[in-house]
Each structure stands twice: as C-alpha cells, then as structure tokens.
C-alpha cells in the first residue's frame, strides 16, 4: 500500500471522535476500488454521450417527419398593435409550442416554428410562418384575435430550388448574443414612437429581378427537455438576484466566473466530507486546513440594480431558444451594401450593458455555406440563443402604420369579415353566388327566398363583379324552373345566360335582341290589356299613361327640365287622345302633335269634354312658336326613334308579341340584350325602361289575383341608373306583395339624377352588396350601412370580385366580406342558334318592307286649295328645338 495512504488510515485510527470501525479499511483493495471508480466515471460519460446523441437524433427525425405548412400573414392597412400586445402574442405561441404528449416527453421531441420576413421584387416584403400542421389553425385564430383584419393564408416555400447565378452572391449570416443570455437586449417599450423593424424592412427594398433577402427566427420554448442547462441557469440567476448577489455575478469576467463556479463546486463538495478532508490534511501536511471562504457580497450600484430588474423581468417571461439567420442573395456589386445595411439594422437592439446581436464569425464559414443553406431551407436549429417573448416581439412584428411607411410592404387593402352564424347554419339557401373565407372556414354566401322577397341592391364600379353575382343568381333560377327577366345594357350577360337554359325550357325563352332587326319583337307602349267593364278600362288607361310618362320623364333631356311639367301635361292629353284611335302606338302621339290634319281628324271624334277643351282652347289657340315650345320636348324624343330602324320596327307594331302577364304568371325567361354599342345609348335606355315599365304594369295587375296564387318572379336589372324611373323605385316598397323579387345593380349613386331615388332604394332593399367604388360619395353612403365594421378606405381598396354584404331582410346581421363564385358560362354555338330560332318563332315576327306609296299625278280638273297657307301649314313640321 502507498505510504501516504498508510498515514491517512493511521490518522483515522487516532481520532477519538471516530465511532466508525476504521480498522476495516485495511481490508479494502484500494487499487481495485479506484479502477472500478474509473469504470463508473467512464460509464457515466458514455451514457451521457449516448443520451446526447439520442436526443439529437430524435430531434432530427421528429423535425423531418413532422408535417408542416407555410402561412402567409398579411397585415391590415392600419396596424396599431403595441409592444405589450405583441409580447402577449408570443407568450401564447410559447404555450402552443409547449404542448407535448407523454411520448413527446419521453422521446425528447419539441415543436418549433419559423417566423420569417421575406423580400422579393415581384411579391414585395411579406411575413411567412412555418409551423406544424397541427398548430396552423390555432395559430391562425390567435393571429386574427391579435390583429383584427389580418389575413392568413396557406402558401408555398419562397426559397428557390437552387441559387445558381453568375452575377449574384449568396450568404447566410447567423447571429449570436455578445453577452450572457440573461442580459437583455434594448427594450422596445414604445413602438408607437420608434419601430426598430423599420430599419430592417427599409434595407429590404428596391431589389432587382431574382434578388432575395430573408430574416429567419426559429423558435423553441425553453421548456423542452433539451434545454435543462439553460433552465438551471435561469433559476440560479434569479436566486442571485433574490439574495442581492447579482453584482457579484454581473461584474465577473468569463474567466473569473469559471474560477468562481469551480470554487463554489469545491466548497459544496468540501462541506459534504469536511471531517475526512481535515483528517487527511492534518496527516499529510501537519497543519489545520480551512474551508474556502464564501465570495464577499458586493454592493450593487444604481445601474446594476436597474439592470438586475431588467434581467429579472426578462427571465420571468416565457423564454425561447432562438436561431436568428439572414439570407442575402443579390448581385455581387450590391452585395456589400446589402450586407452592411442588414447588419446595421440590428444596432437599435443594442443594450447599454453590452448585449447585442452580432454575426457569428468563423474563417471556415465559406466552407459551411452548403450546410448553412440546408439548415436555412429545413428550418433546423443547431446554434441557439435565449430570448424572451418581448425580445422576440421586438424582432418580429408588423410595422406600425402610424410610424412606418415601408416601400413594397404587402398589406391587406380591405379587411376580411367573418360570415354571421345564421348564414353558416343555414342549409336552405335559395341561390348561391359567393363564398366567405375567414380563417380555415369557408361559408357559401347566398339568399333565402325571404331575403330575396325584400330585394337586393348591388353597387360597384365597372368590372368589379356585379354582373357575376347576377349571372349566378339568374342561372340558378333558370335551372330551377322559375320566371326570370334580365335587363342587360351591355349584352354579354344575356348572351352568357343563354347557355344556362336547359333543353326542357327552350319554349320558355323570350330573347329580346333589338339588333336582330330582321325578326323584331313587338312592343306597343299604348297597348291596353283586355278589361271586362268600363271602369276597369279607365283604370287601365291611367296605368298605361302613367307608365309612358314615367318612361319619357326618364329620357327627357336636361335642358327641358325647366318646362317638364308643361311637357308632361301635353303628353298626357296626347296619350289619352291616342287611346281613342284603333291600334294606336307611341307614333300616334307623334302624329297628333306634328300633323295638324291628322290631329283635326282625331279631335273631331272625341267625346271626352276635357280632351276637346285642351285641343280647342289651350292647344288650338296657341301660336306657332308656343305650339313648337309645347310639343318639341315630346316630338324630338319620339321623332328620333322614327329614324332608328331598331326602335321603329319594335315600337310601331300595334300588337305586342310579348305578353308580360304571361311571362310573369307562367314562369317564362325574358333575356333583354340591349347592348348600347349595337343599338345606341338612347334606344337602349328607351327599350330597357319600356320593358321595366311593362313588367311593372303586369305586376301591379296581379292585385286582381289571390295572394297565394302570385307566383314569385325574379327581375334583374344591370346598370339600373340607365333605366331608373320614379314609379319603379316606388314599386320596390310594394313589390313583395305582387310576388316580384328585384335585384338591381349600378356603378355609382352619383349617376342618379334624383338623389331621392337612392334613398328609396336603400330604404326598400333588404340586402346591400358593395363592390369597389372610387366615388367618395358612394363610400360615405355605404360606410353608413356597414359601420363600424369597416372603415374609410376599405371599400375603395376592395380587390376585383370581392365585396361587402349586409343582410337585413329578416333580421339585421353584421356585415361580412365575400368573393364571387367563378363565372364559367357554357357556349355551344349550335345550342345558342337553336334557342334564338325558337324565340324568333314564338315571340317575334319576320320583318317585311312596307309597299312604297303610289305617286298620284294631279289632273287638270283639280283646283288648287283656296287656303294655300293652311295647306302648307298642315304638311309643315314645326322646327325641332
């Protein structure tokens, strides 16, 4: 046995306080015991290495096999979430990522998420999050709760397959903390006055083609089993702060701290075996050994106390193991500028204690570039730094719109609103025309029959999607065998709807195409419906007369508004006079006002005393100039259509070929192709207004029917501002009683000459749909309908085919956003030709040129008129004003 060991054992025998039979130590085989101790130590080291390898391998396998999804997060146009609310968001994210099953804990598996800011020339600056599929939905809901109006949608990885380019350079920078992780970064308490992210996004602008800049933050909660060392350090530092020993900890350098930790370890070990060590020391050295003294507690300065408070505040928050990387792929001549700008953007996070985010430097970084790129692409983390939720929030948040104006930053121009619960639960929609997508929930948007009975109003600029909504509603009605009428001033909608007519409804089609002048449809404005009694006939005359006056009130030119009441008075008397002429048309009114001889022949047969007085006393005693002034407003408009083959061939037929009562009651399909580009704006407006007036007359006549027998009929009017009449807008309030469901669309309320028309429409429509409009008047009007859920600028920035809708027919609902269904009309030329031919056969007449009048040569026996002035006056037409 070793001589020193003999002395140690002998000293133990001499101790009087020793109650342990130390003489048995003679029998111990010390070399064998020491060899076994070495074996135990080696075994423990091997087990620790195996555990570390197992944990690392398990992390890699779990990371590769976990299904993930990329989420594109688009902030709203106005963002005002402060630092505290953003830190609260990452606190919630920490809770989501910390949720693990028992198997996850046993296999050391930990969920992670990658939060990235990406900048490309084409797509701008965007925010991308890569999370496990199981956490995508709860994270999306949390983001929308954090910032209402925010849009979250699935996307693909933005990284290209390769970065091969002769003119560009690629580099991935990984950042580290310059000080111990417990020391905080600079606090960003007030983002409203200073947003550090503005420097970063500002250096990610003005890229060229194929350039790519990205910031990547990979987060893992520090609660995982792979971070026990960091958690122990957190507990130890919080203990130092609690016992006022933080100054000792913060003042020591790294080498001093290593010595201090070694001394503390030795001290604790010495306290466990105090007596044996004292005995050994006495036996070998011959003097009494003293225990290591505790380090003296230093007095903390004011700055250290403030720093201790910041450290404590940081460590008491949810902590993340974070990997911070930046990817730069730009042209070589711009590379250094981009790199310096990106690095300098992190300077605002530097703390006065020396804590900062600095790039990791190594001479072999270029050799590790493939590995760095693979780590970046796989979102796998090796090197980690510890940050609190508030520090992560300062690094990754949406720039505040009040303080940051970043070029190319992608924002939601108009907010998305969720569909009401009543719509989500409604399984009895009468028609469907759009979808609402909010979160991961897609809801069909449509109307019930009760909603449609209170009419629908659409507004939006041209090309925004109004016609698409009408197409889906009308085509659904056609397929379900309902009565439909569509007034289309452009022609495309009517042509598209032709393809949706099923074969069994071919004979129900009335295709009104005025441009088809070879087969004109007959429309007689002054045609009276058959009546049984004289009283009913008088009421019918009044109904038709008011309808015609309403039509011409719409087409009167603006310069005649000052004398409109006088013109209406003359027109009313002329219409009632025309009723006395068999087979009268609107051109009969023109003849009465323009041809004195014809007027005289009609007036002499009048039996109505009021009409005779008008023609004899008021009209007959007026001078030529006064007569011209009285009738020019009517003759100018009606005479214009005498020279239009389109309008003349339709309006001159004494018998209408379309029975509007039959269309409404027998569920016919009336498609009016009133393309202004083919027949002219005036003719289109006149014919459209005429068709609407005829439908109105047929609907009002339903008062003679029982309420239960009034079959619902669906009227769609596109570009309603071209056909709006005061009498028809009044019909909206009572249309439900007549079974009429009206859907009207217009581009802008400013196109309405009478502002009261807009108020009547909004007051009597239960459903309002608003597409993009650039009119401030329209936006202000619609904001009153949708407030407080949308704000100024939301309507003006709506994308194409996106809309806001409010349902108020049954019970007022909160407005919500939607997108129209895609419009895919079926166009079979043979089928379309078959439909048009069937409509011609049933509801049109083939036009035949009237025979030319024979020329009459006066005989010598004929004497000239005794009153040549009157003769000349009877043939002359008054000048058109």
Q: Report which of residues 258 and 751 the model is more confident about.
A: 751
Beta bridge partners of 129: 71, 115
**Reduced to 3 states, what is the DSSP secondary structure of residue 364?**
coil
Assess whether the previous peptide bond of 788 is cis (omega < 30° from 0).
Answer: yes
Confidence of residue 270 (pLDDT cuts 50, 70, 90): low
Confidence of residue 125 (pLDDT cuts 50, 70, 90): very high
Q: Which is nearest to 327 in space by CA: 318, 338, 312, 315?
A: 338
Q: What pLDDT score was predicted for residue 879? A: 34
Q: How far is C-alpha 264 from the chain's CA centre?
A: 62
CA dihedral (37, 39, 40, 43) in degrees, to 10, reads 160
Torsion sign, CA atoms 507, 512, 516, 520: positive
Mean pLDDT across the chain: 81
Per-residue pLDDT, averaged over 806-816, amounts to 85
Q: Which is nearest to 414 in space by CA: 80, 772, 767?
A: 772
Per-residue pLDDT, averaged over 50-63, amounts to 75
Are 222 and 118 contacting, i.e. CB atoms less than 8 angstroms apart? no
Q: What is the distance between the alpha carbons of residues 537 and 529, in angstroms, rounded to a whole number? A: 8
Confidence of residue 279 (pLDDT cuts 50, 70, 90): low
Q: What pLDDT score was predicted for residue 820? A: 95
Beta strands in 133-234 (DSSP E): 151-155, 168-177, 212-221
Q: What pLDDT score was predicted for residue 502? A: 92
**Reduced to 3 states, what is the DSSP secondary structure of residue 436?**
strand
> In which residue are the tokens 């407003």 written?
633
Confidence of residue 291 (pLDDT cuts 50, 70, 90): very low
Are 519 and 570 contacting, i.e. CB atoms less than 8 angstroms apart? no
Q: What pLDDT score was predicted for residue 837? A: 93
Q: Report which of residues 491 and 106 the model is more confident about.
A: 491
Token pair of 129, please? Answer: 């999050």
**Reduced to 3 states, what is the DSSP secondary structure of residue 166?**
coil
Report for 96-110, 502-516, 614-628: range of highest mean pLDDT:
502-516
Token pair of 242, please? Answer: 């609690």
Determine how β-strand 669-673 pairs with β-strand 483-488.
Answer: parallel
Q: What is the distance between the alpha carbons of residues 393 and 188, in angstroms, rounded to a whole number? A: 9
Q: What pLDDT score was predicted for residue 232? A: 78
Residue 377 pLDDT greater than 80, yes or no: yes
**Reduced to 3 states, what is the DSSP secondary structure of residue 857?**
coil
pLDDT in tens, 388-412: 998 898 889 888 776 677 788 888 8
Q: What pLDDT score was predicted for residue 531? A: 81
Q: Report which of residues 612 and 238 the model is more confident about.
A: 612
Q: What pLDDT score was predicted for residue 619? A: 81
* Range scoring the smallest mean pLDDT among 140-144, 225-229, 501-505, 596-600: 225-229
Q: Report which of residues 201 and 623 the model is more confident about.
A: 201
Q: Which is nearest to 500 in space by CA: 521, 520, 470?
A: 470
Q: What pLDDT score was predicted for residue 881? A: 35
Report for 2-11, 299-308, 634-643: range of highest mean pLDDT:
634-643
Residue 203 pLDDT greater than 50, yes or no: yes
Confidence of residue 300 (pLDDT cuts 50, 70, 90): low
Residue 10 pLDDT greater than 90, yes or no: no
Burial per residue of 667-681, b for 16 or more beta-carbon CB atoms within 10 angstroms, e otherwise:
bbbbbbbbbbeebbe
Beta bridge partners of 483: 713
Per-residue pLDDT, averaged over 782-801, amounts to 87
Residue 553 pLDDT greater than 80, yes or no: no
Confidence of residue 872 (pLDDT cuts 50, 70, 90): very low
Residue 859 pLDDT greater than 70, yes or no: no
Confidence of residue 313 (pLDDT cuts 50, 70, 90): confident
Q: Report which of residues 385 and 458 the model is more confident about.
A: 458
pLDDT in tens, 637-663: 788 888 888 888 999 888 989 999 999
Beta bridge partners of 284: none
pLDDT in tens, 146-162: 888 888 889 999 998 88
Neighbours of 494 (CB within 10 A): 23
**Reduced to 3 states, what is the DSSP secondary structure of residue 532?**
coil
* Range scoring the smallest mean pLDDT among 115-124, 561-570, 682-691: 561-570
Residue 863 pLDDT greater than 70, yes or no: no
Question: Could you give the C-alpha distances from 701 to 4, 545, 656, 843, in angstroms and in order?
Answer: 127, 15, 17, 22
pLDDT in tens, 708-726: 888 999 999 998 888 877 7
Q: What is the distance between the alpha carbons of residues 361 and 357, in angstroms, rounded to a whole number? A: 12
- Above pLDDT 90, what percent of the chain? 22
Q: What pLDDT score was predicted for residue 667? A: 92
Residue 141 pLDDT greater than 80, yes or no: yes
Read off φ and ψ for residue 325, nearest 5 degrees.
Answer: -130, 155
Q: Which is nearest to 664 in space by CA: 711, 709, 731, 733?
A: 711
Residues 6+ apart with CB under 8 A from 515: 646, 673, 675, 678, 679
Q: What pLDDT score was predicted for residue 289? A: 47
Are 757 and 763 contacting, i.e. CB atoms less than 8 angstroms apart? no
Are 321 and 386 contacting, i.e. CB atoms less than 8 angstroms apart? yes
Token pair of 443, please? Answer: 């809801």
Per-residue pLDDT, averaged over 569-590, amounts to 90
Per-residue pLDDT, averaged over 285-307, amounts to 61
Q: What pLDDT score was predicted for residue 862? A: 47
Q: Report which of residues 66 and 508 the model is more confident about.
A: 508
pLDDT in tens, 12-27: 455 444 444 545 445 5
Q: What pLDDT score was predicted for residue 456? A: 93
Q: What pLDDT score was predicted for residue 281? A: 56
Q: What pLDDT score was predicted for residue 156? A: 92
Per-residue pLDDT, averaged over 542-555, amounts to 83
Q: What is the distance between the alpha carbons of residues 398 and 115, in angstroms, rounded to a whole number? A: 12
Q: What pLDDT score was predicted for residue 880? A: 36
Residue 129 burial by Cβ neighbours in a 10 Å radius (0-12, 13-18, 19+): buried
What are the DSSP calls for 16-55, one per residue?
TT--S-GGGGGG--HHHHHHHHHHHHHHHHHHHHHHHHHH
Confidence of residue 469 (pLDDT cuts 50, 70, 90): very high
């Amino acid at each position: 046995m070793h001589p020193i060991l003999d002395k140690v054992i002998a000293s133990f025998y001499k101790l009087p306080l020793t109650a342990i039979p130390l003489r048995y130590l003679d029998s111990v085989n010390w070399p064998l015991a020491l060899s076994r101790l070495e074996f135990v130590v080696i075994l423990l080291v091997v087990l620790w290495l195996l555990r570390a390898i197992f944990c690392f391998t398990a992390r890699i396998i779990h990371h590769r096999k976990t299904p993930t999804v990329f989420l594109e997060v688009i902030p709203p146009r106005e963002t005002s979430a402060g630092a505290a609310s953003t830190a609260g968001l990452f606190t919630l994210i920490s809770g989501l990522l910390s949720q693990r099953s028992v198997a996850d804990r046993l296999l050391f598996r930990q969920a992670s998420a990658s939060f990235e800011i990406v900048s490309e020339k084409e797509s701008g600056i965007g925010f991308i999050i890569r999370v496990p599929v199981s956490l995508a939905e709860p994270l999306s809901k949390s983001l929308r709760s954090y910032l209402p109006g925010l849009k979250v949608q699935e996307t693909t990885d933005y990284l290209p397959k390769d970065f091969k380019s002769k003119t560009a350079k690629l580099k991935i920078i990984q950042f580290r903390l310059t000080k111990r992780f417990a020391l905080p970064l600079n606090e960003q308490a007030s983002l409203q006055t200073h947003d550090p992210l503005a420097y970063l996004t500002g250096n990610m602008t003005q890229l060229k083609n194929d350039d790519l800049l990205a910031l990547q933050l990979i987060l893992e909660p520090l609660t995982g089993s792979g971070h026990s060392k960091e958690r122990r350090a957190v507990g130890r530092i919080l203990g130092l702060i609690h016992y006022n020993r933080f100054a000792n900890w913060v003042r020591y350098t790294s080498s001093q701290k290593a010595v201090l930790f070694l001394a503390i370890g030795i001290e604790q070990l010495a306290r466990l075996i105090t007596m044996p060590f004292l005995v050994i020391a006495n036996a070998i050295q011959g003097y009494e050994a003293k225990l290591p003294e505790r380090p003296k507690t230093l007095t903390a300065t004011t700055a250290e106390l403030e720093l201790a408070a910041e450290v404590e505040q940081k460590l008491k928050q949810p902590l993340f193991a974070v990997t911070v990387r930046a990817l730069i792929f730009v042209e070589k001549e711009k590379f250094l500028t981009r790199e310096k700008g990106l690095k300098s953007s992190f300077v605002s996070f530097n703390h006065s204690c020396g804590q900062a985010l600095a790039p990791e430097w190594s001479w072999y970084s270029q050799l590790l570039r493939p590995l760095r790129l693979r780590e970046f692409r796989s979102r796998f983390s090796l090197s980690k730094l510890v940050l609190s939720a508030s520090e992560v929030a300062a690094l990754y948040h949406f720039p505040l719109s009040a303080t940051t104006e970043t070029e190319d930053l992608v924002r939601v121009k108009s907010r998305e609103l969720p569909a009401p619960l009543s719509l989500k639960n409604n399984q009895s929609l009468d028609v469907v025309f759009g979808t609402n997508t909010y979160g991961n929930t897609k809801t069909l948007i449509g109307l019930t029959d009760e909603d449609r009975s209170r009419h629908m109003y659409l507004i939006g600029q041209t090309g925004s999607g109004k016609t698409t909504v009408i197409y889906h509603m009308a085509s659904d009605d056609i397929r379900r065998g309902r009565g439909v009428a569509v007034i289309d001033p452009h022609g495309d909608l009517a042509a598209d709807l032709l393809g949706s007519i099923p074969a069994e409804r071919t004979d129900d089609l009335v295709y009104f195409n005025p441009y088809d002048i070879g087969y004109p449809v007959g429309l007689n404005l002054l045609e009276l419906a058959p009546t049984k009694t004289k009283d009913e006939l008088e009421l019918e005359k009044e109904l038709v007369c008011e309808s015609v006056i309403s039509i011409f009130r719409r087409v009167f030119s603006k310069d005649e508004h000052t004398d409109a009441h006088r013109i209406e008075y003359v027109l009313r008397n002329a219409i009632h006079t025309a009723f006395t002429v068999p087979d009268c048309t609107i051109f009969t009114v023109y003849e009465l006002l323009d041809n004195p001889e014809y007027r005289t022949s009609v007036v002499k047969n009048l039996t109505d005393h009021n009409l005779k007085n008008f023609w004899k006393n008021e009209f007959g005693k007026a001078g030529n100039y006064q007569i011209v002034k009285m009738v020019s407003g009517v003759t100018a408009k009606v005479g214009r259509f005498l020279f239009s083959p389109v309008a003349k061939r339709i309006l001159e037929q004494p018998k209408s070929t379309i029975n509007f009562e039959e269309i409404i009651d027998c569920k016919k399909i009336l498609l009016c192709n009133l393309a202004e580009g083919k027949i002219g704006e005036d003719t289109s407006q006149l014919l459209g207004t005429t068709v609407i007036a005829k439908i109105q007359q047929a609907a009002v006549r339903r008062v003679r029917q029982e309420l239960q027998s009034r079959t619902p009929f669906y009227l769609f009017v596109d570009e309603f501002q071209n056909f709006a009449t005061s009498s028809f807008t009044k019909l909206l309030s009572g249309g439900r009683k007549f079974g009429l469901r009206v859907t009207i669309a217009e581009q802008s309320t400013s196109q309405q000459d009478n502002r009261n028309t807009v108020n009547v429409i909004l007051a009597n429509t239960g459903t309002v749909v608003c597409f993009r409009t650039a009119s401030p008047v329209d936006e202000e009007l619609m904001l009153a309908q949708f407030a407080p859920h949308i704000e100024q600028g939301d309507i003006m920035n709506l994308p194409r085919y996106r809309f806001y809708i409010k349902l108020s027919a049954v019970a007022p609902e909160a407005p919500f956003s939607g997108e129209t269904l895609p419009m895919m009309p079926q166009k079979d030329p043979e089928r379309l030709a078959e439909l048009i031919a069937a409509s011609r056969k049933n509801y049109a007449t083939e036009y035949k040129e009237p025979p030319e009048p024979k020329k009459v040569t006066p005989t010598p026996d004929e004497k000239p008129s005794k009153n040549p002035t009157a003769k000349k006056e009877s043939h002359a037409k008054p000048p058109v004003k």
